[in-house]
Structure formats: structure tokens, C-alpha cells
Structure 1
Amino acid sequence: MPEGDTVFAAAARLRAALEGQRLVRTQFRVPSLATVDLSKRTVRSVRSVGKHLLIDVAGPDDDRPESGAVSIHSHLKMEGSWHVHPSGTRWRRPGFQARVVLRTATHEAVGFELGVLELTETPDGDLAYLGPDLLSDDWDPAEAVRRIESMPEESIGVALLDQRLIAGIGNVYRSELCFLRKVLPTRAVREVDIPSMVELSRRVLWANRLRSARTTTGHTAPNARLWVYGRRGRLCRRCGSPIERGQLGSIGEDRVIYFCPGCQT
């Protein structure tokens, strides 16, 4: 499931192939952008902001790169992914799933089934509502703590998923983080040690930011990577209680949550 670490890794791959390179061909396969052509423009930077990915492209005039500069903003949602490969290489996913193709002289980047794909001239302003980015170089733990603690009656499971409070956590990590801190996701924020939760969140996502296989247990075998997520009915790795699954969140949101009724209180 794409979360902050997945997007960070995707940005790193795209950055290595695109940053500083001139685009020789672009194709947007969504109706709202079907006529857009960014060829002959230079990719200035690629960056992740929480679960969002930005590809910053210079304007059409090399002497005035700021004039007409735009950012390609994408969000993977549940099914999206970015693939990078040498130009001419066969795609690893079906062509009908492609939403955008960016080609340089040597490489091609393809965004498949992106949940959000748009162009913006004000990317930082558009994402200013987000809380501190767990994987940012200027990570601000104090601000993350302040934002979460400003909602004392909210459940910690809902607060961790609120990108306005802290950016980068999704369903997998919120289940795992609550288990690691030994608290039920339904516990109120005021009853949780928020500084410790925030510190652990940064540490766990940072450790996984470039891993091919996400792990919270320290083990990388497919059946040993996670403590509780996706393990309903299986025995807790610590106390032996059957892992349970529930729903937590607002209607229309991703609400699934996993927990151990023995270890978490």
C-alpha cells in the first residue's frame, strides 16, 4: 500500500532519471491534460511531500526558466505507481493503465493508475495544508506534536491518518505504530504519549524509505515483516492472542485497522 516511504522511494528513482534532463516527449493520458505538451522543457527537481509527488518542470524559455514553470502533481492513492526504465524498454504494466509518459533522451518514466494527476503553478501553496512531512529534510517534530495534541479527544488511530496533522502515514503504518506503542487505535490522543509516537513514526518511516520490502519487525521474509497489519486471526508475535481487524475513521475513508487485544490497551 503506498504510504510516505513508497512515494519517497518513487521520487528518488524519478530524480535519478529525470532531474536536470530535457524532456523529448510527454504524453498525458487523462482528458483534462490531453493537449498538454511539456517536451523541450527541463525537469528542475523531483520531490515527495508526504504522500504527494511533485515533478517540477522549467518554463519553455531556457533564459527565463521561472516563466511558465509548472509542477506535475501526482498521488498514488491505492493502485498507482511510477516506473522508470531505459527508453525503448517494454513496460511492466499494461499500456491502458498508463496516465502519463515522460521521456528523456535516455529514460522513460511512466505513471500508472495515478489517483491524482494534475499540473499546478503553485505546488507548495497547494500542499500548505499538510502537516510536517515525516521524511522531509526539515522535519519538524515539535510542530507535529503540537498539531496532534490540538485534537485531544480524537482517537490516535484517526489522528495518525490525518495528513493535516502529520504527513506520510497510511493504514499500514498507523496499525503498526499503535502496536509498537502498545496502545489501541481507539484511545484518545490525550491518553497517548504523543512525542514518543511522533519520534517512532519518523524513525520507522525513515528506516523504510528506500527499502524494497517494508518491515516494522526488522525481518524481511514475506511472512515476517509486519506485527499486525493484514494478520487478522493469526497469533500475535508477542503474546499469542489472535490479531483482530476493525474499522476506524470517517465514512468514505480508508478505515481498516488491525490490532492485538492482548498487547494493546
Structure 2
Amino acid sequence: MPEGDSVYQAAQRLDDALAGQVVSRSDFRVPAYANADLAGETVHSVTSRGKHLLMRIGEAVVHSHLKMEGEWRVYRPGQQWRRPGWQARVVIETAPAVAVGFDLGLVEVFPAAEEDDRMAYLGPDLLGPDWDAAEAVRRIASAPDVPIAVALGEQRNLAGLGNVYVNELCFLRGIRPTRPVGEVELAPLVDLASRVIRANRDRISRTTTGNDRRGERLWVYSRSGEPCRRCGTRIEHGRLGRNDVELRDTWWCPSCQR
């Protein structure tokens, strides 16, 4: 599942392939930007901010969000794509590389001068140069009655955590996902979030258990009914969100997480 670490890695791969290159062809297969043409413009950089990917080309920014199914892949010119062409949403071609964004949940192109304002709503980026743990704690604490799992996944509080990390962090701190923010010691939790996602930033396979074997990398995420790796109690499952539209799956150990 794409989370802050996955998007960070995607941005690094794209930056390595495209930065400093001149766009020879661009193809936006999104109706709102079908006429956008970045040919002849230079790719300045590709970076991530939380779960958002920002490709700075000329005086424009190509902003994408992977959502659940999206991904960016890099090919050599003329190389056959490994996903169907109808799934492509954006194609950026340069002399040495072709970047293709498949099944992107969000695509938009806007003037580079607007980037700061458009991204201003996001909280401190766990993997960014602006990371500010104290500010993240302050933002989370501003809503003491919100379930902690909901607050951790709110990108306005801190940018980069998705459902995998939210569930795993709650387990690691022994916190039931439904516990109100006001009853949680926030500073150690936020510090752990930073340490765990940074530890996975450059890993091929994300792990929170420290075990890199397939099927043994996570404590509770997507393990409903399976025994807790720590105490053997069956993992429980529920759904939690700010409202009925934004419900997210949650998993917890009823013994380890009080």
C-alpha cells in the first residue's frame, strides 16, 4: 500500500531518471489536462511531500497522488510497458527515460508559484526537511476527543502515515486504535512514527517487526483472526473514521493494546 515511504522511494527513482533532462513529449490522459504540453521544458526535480508526489517541470508542477492502486514506473525509450496502456494517466518522456504514472488517484498541473499555497494544508512531513515533531504533537492534540488512529492518519496533522503505519504504531505503543487523543501520550508516539518510517524509507519491503520474511513483517495490519505475534491472542478487526464515508479498517490485539 502506498504510504509516505513508498512515495518517497518513487520520487527518488523519478528524480534520478529525469532531473536535469528536457521533456521531449508529455501526455496527460486526464480530461482536465489533456491539452497540457510540457515538451521542451526541463525537469528540475521530483520530490515527495507526505503521500503526494511533486514533479517540477519548467514553470509548472505535476502533482500526483497514488491513492490505493497508483504507481510510477520508469522505462527506457521504446521499452515495452509492463502494465496496460489504458491504465496510464501521465507520460513524461525524455531522451534517456520515460516515466509513466499508472492508475493515479489524483493528477493535476499547476504553476510552480502556487505549490506552497496548495500544499500548505499538510502537516509536517515525516520524511521531509520540514519535519517538526512538536508541531505534529500540537496539531494532533488540538482534537482530544478524536480516536488516535484517526488523528494519526489525518494528513493535516502529520504527512506520510497511511493505514499500515497507523495500525502498527498503535500496536507498538500498546494503544487501542479507538482511544481518544486526549488519553494518549503523544510525544513518544510521534517520535516512534518518525523513527519507524525513516527506518523503512530505503527498504525494499516495509517491516515493523524487524523480520524481513514474507508474512512476518507486520504485527497486526490485515491479520484479523490470526494469533498476536507477541502474546498469541487473536487479532481483532473493526472500522474507524471521522465519518461513515471515511471509515478505515483497523486491527488490534485486545490483550497487548489496552
Normalising to structure 2: TM-score of the pair?
0.97
- Unpaired stretches in structure 1, ≥5 consecutive residues: 59-68
3-state SS of paired residue (2:23): coil
1:255 maps to 248
The 5 A counterparts of 1:59-208 are 69-121=59-111, 122-208=114-200
> What's the offset of the Cα at 1:165?
0.6
> What's the offset of the Cα at 1:169?
0.7
Letter in 2 for 1:11: A
Query: 2-side partners of 1:210 and 1:90: how far apart?
Result: 27
Report the RMSD for the aligned CA atoms in angstroms. Answer: 0.8
- CA distances 1:137-174 after superposition (whole Å, capped 9, x unpaired): 23111100111111111110110011111111111110
CA contact (8 A) 1:156 1:188 kept: yes
The runs of at least 4 aligned residues of structure 1 exceeding 6 Å deviation read none
3-state SS of paired residue (1:252): helix
- CA distances 1:8-60 after superposition (whole Å, capped 9, x unpaired): 010000000011111111111111111111011001111101110000111xx
How many pairs are equivalent? Answer: 255
3-state SS of paired residue (1:179): helix
Query: 1-side partners of 2:35 and 2:89: how far apart?
Result: 13
> What's the offset of the Cα at 1:204?
0.7
Query: 2-side partners of 1:187 and 1:220: how far apart?
Result: 30
Query: 2-side partners of 1:88 and 1:142: how far apart?
Result: 48
Query: 2-side partners of 1:143 and 1:30: how far apart?
Result: 36
Normalising to structure 1: TM-score of the pair?
0.94
The 5 A counterparts of 1:12-31 are 12-31=12-31
CA contact (8 A) 1:100 1:112 kept: yes
> What's the offset of the Cα at 1:254?
4.6
> What's the offset of the Cα at 1:85?
2.0
Query: 2-side partners of 1:193 and 1:112: how far apart?
Result: 40
- CA distances 1:84-138 after superposition (whole Å, capped 9, x unpaired): 1222111111111000101110101000000000001112210101110100023
Give % identity. Answer: 56
Letter in 2 for 1:214: R
- Unpaired stretches in structure 2, ≥5 consecutive residues: none
1:245 aligns with 2:237: yes
Query: 2-side partners of 1:213 and 1:163: how far apart?
Result: 23
Query: 1-side partners of 2:202 and 2:94: how far apart?
Result: 24
